Copies of this chain bind each other. A is one copy, B any other.
Amino acid sequence: MLSFVGLGISGFESIPIEGLETISTADIVYLEQFTSPISESDLKKIQDSIKGEFKLAKRWLVEDGNEILEMSKEKNVVLLAYGDPYIATTHIELRARAIENKIKTHSIHASSSLTSMIGECGLHFYKIGRIATIMSEMKSLTTPYYVIYKNLIEGNHTVLLLEYNQDKKFFLDPKDALKGLLETEQGQTRNVITESNYVIIASRIGFKDQAIVCGKISSLKETDFGKPPHTIIIPGRLHFTESDALKLFGKCIDEPFDNSEKTEKISNQMMKKYVPMVREALEEIEPLYKNQKEFEIILDNAERYIKDAEIFLGEGRDENAILSIGYADGLVDALRLAKGLEFKM
């Protein structure tokens, strides 16, 4: 039998009652610490509550899994893991392999930093978009950058997990992660992350020295966020109850504000540029085609498609809006080119 037991986010104290019973009666307890560090005092409390064998499990041992699975065939084995056991996909895969090997499995869930930190910051859980991870060895932060972009245009909050490497005792500093995102902005220029963005740094959530610090990136440049683990949250649209709670629960260097306002959808950016441009180009050529029936049809169509584009945008049919303004632009430019004028795409 192989039991996956969550340790929760606050050390020994956050183990569920059922989890404590399970580890205390197990033949072997493997403790993995590669998703988050565990303090010496918690380690001691865990060891003291175990009657069977206790083993620290490195990442490779869990990923390889053979020893744990072999032991579980005959004995009562527990894999004790920080937070909720199945946030780490490694544990899901180990459970799947156990079932394939006809080993009975049992799961005891516990608090996860992913859910806890949202509430600790006063944010609404249903507004969290897809999460992203930032690793120091990433060649580019384009993927997390576009996760943030897509979340922001939907008004969603983004949780950015930062690298923690147990073997190297390395944790990615939130300031370095933000620096990487600002550099990515230079290349991508979608106005997703600038120094005036509002960010929340949630540190050591669940521990006694938990800290939530927030403000503009420019205001946090010199801040020491202390020991890991840290997480960055990029808030999207903020309900007033979220802003109010954030101010009460965290240390806000700046007043919280909505990041999603400045990150405009690409379709909106395009429409703002093209609608007035095409309209102006159309007005310029209208006199040149006066009383030429076959060309007036084209001008009428251009006029109609500009209007349609605006209606589509208002209805949230962004793709149709872009297609229409592009089409109107093409109609107008054909007539301009035919008269030897500059085109306006």
Binding site for B on A (CB under 8 A): 6, 8-10, 12-18, 20, 84-87, 89, 91-93, 95-96, 99-100, 107-112, 114-116, 118-120, 122, 124-133, 150, 154, 156, 206, 241, 244-245, 248-249, 266-267, 270, 274, 294-295, 297-298, 301-302, 305, 318-319, 322-335, 337-340, 343, 345
For residue A166, give the distance in angstroms from its CB to the closest CB of chain B. Answer: 19
Contact A337 to B301, CB < 8 A, known contacts A96-B245, A111-B16, A133-B126: yes
Contact A109 to B206, CB < 8 A, known contacts A118-B86, A327-B327: yes
A337's contact among B124, B125, B297, by CB below 8 Å, is which? B297
Residues of B with C-beta under 8 A to A87 = 115, 119, 125
For residue A334, give the distance in angstroms from its CB to the closest CB of chain B. Answer: 3
**Is A116 touching B125 in the complex (CB atoms < 8 A)?**
no
**Is B206 touching A96 in the complex (CB atoms < 8 A)?**
no
In the bound complex, how far is the Cα of B93 from the Cα of A130, in angstroms?
A: 24
Candidate in A15, A87, A274 with the most chain B CB atoms within 10 angstroms: A87
Residues of B with C-beta under 8 A to A95 = 245, 248-249
Q: How many copies does the complex hold?
A: 2
**Is A116 touching B14 in the complex (CB atoms < 8 A)?**
no
Chain B residue at minimum C-beta to C-beta distance from A10: B18
In the bound complex, how far is the Cα of B339 from the Cα of A295, in angstroms?
A: 10
Contact A14 to B9, CB < 8 A, known contacts A109-B116, A115-B87, A128-B130: no
In the bound complex, how far is the Cα of B114 from the Cα of A9, in angstroms?
A: 16
**Is B109 touching A249 in the complex (CB atoms < 8 A)?**
no
**Is B96 touching A120 in the complex (CB atoms < 8 A)?**
no
For residue A103, give the distance in angstroms from its CB to the closest CB of chain B. Answer: 11
Residues of B with C-beta under 8 A to A17 = 12-17, 20
Candidate in A154, A156, A330 with the most chain B CB atoms within 10 angstroms: A330
For residue A304, give the distance in angstroms from its CB to the closest CB of chain B. Answer: 10
**Is A131 touching B126 in the complex (CB atoms < 8 A)?**
yes
**Is B89 touching A10 in the complex (CB atoms < 8 A)?**
no
Residues of B with C-beta under 8 A to A14 = 16-18, 108-109
Chain B residue at minimum C-beta to C-beta distance from A241: B93
Residues of B with C-beta under 8 A to A335 = 334
A298's contact among B301, B305, B337, by CB below 8 Å, is which? B337
In the bound complex, how far is the Cα of B322 from the Cα of A318, in angstroms?
A: 10
Residues of B with C-beta under 8 A to A93 = 241, 245
For residue A269, give the distance in angstroms from its CB to the closest CB of chain B. Answer: 9
For residue A312, give the distance in angstroms from its CB to the closest CB of chain B. Answer: 11
Chain B residue at minimum C-beta to C-beta distance from A132: B126
**Is A16 touching B13 in the complex (CB atoms < 8 A)?**
yes
For residue A106, give the distance in angstroms from its CB to the closest CB of chain B. Answer: 11
Residues of B with C-beta under 8 A to A107 = 116, 119-120
In the bound complex, how far is the Cα of B115 from the Cα of A86, in angstroms?
A: 8
Residues of B with C-beta under 8 A to A124 = 89, 92
A327's contact among B84, B120, B326, by CB below 8 Å, is which? B326
**Is B86 touching A116 in the complex (CB atoms < 8 A)?**
yes
**Is A127 touching B125 in the complex (CB atoms < 8 A)?**
no
**Is A92 touching B150 in the complex (CB atoms < 8 A)?**
no
Chain B residue at minimum C-beta to C-beta distance from A150: B154
Chain B residue at minimum C-beta to C-beta distance from A295: B338
